[in-house]
Amino acid sequence: MVSERGGVLHTAAVLHTATDSVAAYTEVVLRDPADTRALQYDTVVVPVHRGRGLGRAVKRHLMGVLADERPGLREIGTTVADENGPMLAVNDRLGYRRERLVGYFQATL
């Protein structure tokens, strides 16, 4: 879907070799290959693998890949819920800084 709109999706994953399954993954999207700002869509660590630094490792790895493959890229934007302390800590350790607060609202239909 991203490529159909002219964008580029970059994904990195950590594989748990004993079970041949994904333990963590992250994905970053450039809406246009020439963009200087990318969007972090998802970073997920399977619950049984949490607390081992995999979220930070997979995000750091993809940041390195992007730095090498996309030299024009200057920043990555991401969203994190205030109650997601572990991911806030990961982002802080990787150098992310809070840019703005966003409110999400919901209505019952």
Q: Report how far residue 35's alpha carbon sits from residue 29's, in angstroms, rounded to the nearest whole number.
A: 10
What is the domain range of residue 70? 3-93
* Model confidence, pTM: 0.85
Kindly indicate the confidence band of residue 79, based on its pLDDT and cuts at 50, 70 and 90: very high
Per the listing, tokens 């964008």 go with 7
In a domain, residue 43? The reply is yes
Q: How many helices (H) and strands (E) does the chain have?
A: 2, 4
CA 74 to chain centre: 15
In a domain, residue 104? The reply is no
In a domain, residue 98? The reply is no
Contacts of 30 (CB under 8 A, 6+ apart): 7, 8, 10, 38, 39, 70, 73
21-54 pLDDT per residue, tens? 999 999 999 988 888 999 999 999 999 999 999 9
In a domain, residue 48? The reply is yes
- Residue 4 pLDDT > 80: no
- Nearest CA to 47 out of 69, 16, 71, 20 is that of 16
